[in-house]
Amino acid sequence: MKSHLRKLGPILVSLFLATVGAQWVHAQITDEIQAHLDHSFVVGNTTLPPGDYTFRVEQDSELAVMTVTSTTGKTTVDVLVQQTTANHTPVHSELTFRKYGNTEFLNKVFERGSKDGAQVTETGRQEEHFAKESLQATEHTEVQK
């Protein structure tokens, strides 16, 4: 009996790690998200004008860097992100912004069909200034079809 357990032990551990690892791999955005925004927004220290953008979590970055690129290719911004979980499963991809006055800061991105997404962890100078002034941000979500 003990020899069977010794043989099965490594197999069971491998299956467990493969299962846990598979869930972690799907814990982030895996596809590019295309979005049209009617307003300017800030990513890190860069203000982007209204327009069409692609949001992509870089797979070779250990899922810690998201790239925001204008569809014209003129603007590319990299920002640090971490995993976050939504309180619902979005039917369409969603972008969440924090808004101070008329300035909107990218906060979270969720891919359609997944509660797991990316949250921006890199705060730019402008947002830090608003926070130091004790201004309250409002949060709003834009659905992308």
Among 138, 133, 91, 106, smallest CA distance to 37 is for 106
Mean pLDDT for the stretch of residues 23-41: 75
* Amino acid 58: pLDDT: 84
Nearest to 71 by CA among 37, 44, 42: 37
Q: Look at 21 and 122; give whichever has higher pLDDT.
A: 122
Q: What is the DSSP letter of 30?
A: -
Averaged pLDDT score across all residues of the chain: 81
pLDDT of the residue at 28: 58
* Global confidence as pTM: 0.74
Give yes or no for a contact between 76 and 69, defined as CB atoms under 8 angstroms apart. Answer: yes
Q: Considering only 20-34, 42-56, 117-131, which range has the smallest mean pLDDT?
A: 20-34
